[in-house]
Amino acid sequence: MSRWWTAGCLMGLGLLTTAALAETEEGSELARVQAVVSDARITMTQALEAAGKEVQEGKPFRVELLLKNARAQYEVTMLAGEECVEVAIDATSGKVLGVRKERMETTAGHRWNFDKDPAGESPPGWIIRQNNPTKQLAAWTIEPSADAVSKPNVLNVKTENGNATFNLALVEKAVYRDLHLTVKIRANTGEDDQGGGLIWRCKDENNYYVCRINPIENNFRLYKMVNGKRTKLQSADFETPAGQWFTLRVRMKGNEITCYCNGRKWLEARDDTFPDAGMIGLWTKADACSSFDDLRAWPIVGEGESGEPAPVSAGVEPPETP
């Protein structure tokens, strides 16, 4: 593995513990993560080097510190030709715990951080939609933000829509079937609703999967939207206060859906409603005004796999999308 790639990885990984703890739930959950992270004896640099020995022709794609059975382990994802290789490494001993390979689809991984796009406009190549209109179409605009995860810009949605309306921003040419999808979200304001989330396998504004957080209800939910009708698939209750950044992540392969918030796996479901590839995008409801940053998507194709532990923090990013 070249020094260039190692350096590129470390640029995003230097504040692992700070980022991980800042995004983790308060109280007992924070203490649990602190205890597990403190057990780590090897650095991310060492984990990258170990992964590079296992996948000698690979290039780092992302690194995560995982919690599995109350023990810390690193998962290093390497891109090697048409394969996506995940190397699990014990964070205490440095031992390689396993190597998993998946063939990638033609569509590569992409990242949208909005930092090179013109402020005051919607992202290029995105389409703005809504269903059950109540007022004007929501405004999705790129704006500077002092606390942007990826500085200087975020994607803000501002709307005064009523409770029946769902606001969508879709990446029209980003079409995936089996995928990982993640974004940073901060709820800002809203009387009827707050928060928002991710959508995938989207056919149009009336047909898609969505997972979202809601600070008013203090929950994290997974839905399917079929012909404009929303059906809840799973729900978990925990605090998601407005004004704070949260990391949402979705993994869907076949009919299996797993949803994470701040590195913890909260929701699991099986559903066959939308078996084909579809668009990805962002979502809010009613008058929920929120900020989004650092949207990333990458495809997976291959055999089934065992349960994946939840990531605490991601470091290495897919390439920026032009």
3-state secondary structure the chain: CCHHHHHHHHHCCCCHHHHHHHCCCCCHHHHHHHHHHHCCCCCHHHHHHHHHHHCCCCEEEEEEEEEECCEEEEEEEEEECCEEEEEEEECCCCCEEEEEEEECCCCCCEEECCCCCCCCCCCCCEEEEEECCCCCCCEEEEEECCCCCCCCEEEEEECCCCCCCEEEEEEEEEEECCEEEEEEEEEEECCCCCCEEEEEEEEECCEEEEEEEECCCCEEEEEEEECCEEEEEEEEECCCCCCCEEEEEEEEECCEEEEEECCEEEEEEECCCCCCCEEEEEEEECCCEEEEEEEEEEECECCCCCCCCEEEEECCCCCECC
Whether residues 199 and 247 fall in one domain: yes
Residue 261 lies in a domain: yes
Residue 306 forms part of a structural domain = no
Residues 87 and 119 in one domain: no
- Look at the chain and report how many structural domains it folds into: 2
In this structure, the answer to whether residues 148 and 291 fall within a common structural domain is: yes
* Confidence band, pLDDT 50/70/90 cuts, at residue 7: very low
Same-domain status, 99 and 117:
no
Q: Does residue 315 lie in a domain region? A: no
Q: Please check whether residues 290 and 241 belong to one and the same domain.
A: yes
| Residue, of 263 and 190, whose pLDDT is higher | 190
Q: Residues 78-94: what's their mean pLDDT? A: 82
- pLDDT level of residue 15 (50, 70, 90 thresholds): very low
Asked whether residue 170 falls in the same domain as residue 198, the answer is: yes
If you average pLDDT over every residue of the chain, what do you get?
82
In a domain, 94, yes or no: yes
Whether residues 97 and 128 fall in one domain = no
Residue 288, pLDDT > 90, answer: yes
Residue 279 has pLDDT above 60, yes or no: yes
pLDDT at 100: 86
| Structural domain that includes position 260 | 110-300
Per-residue model confidence as pLDDT tens digits over 200-212: 999 999 999 999 9
Domain stop point among 72, 103, 134: 103
Per-residue pLDDT tens digits for 226-274: 999 999 999 999 999 999 999 999 999 999 999 999 989 999 999 999 9
The pLDDT assigned to 18 comes to: 33
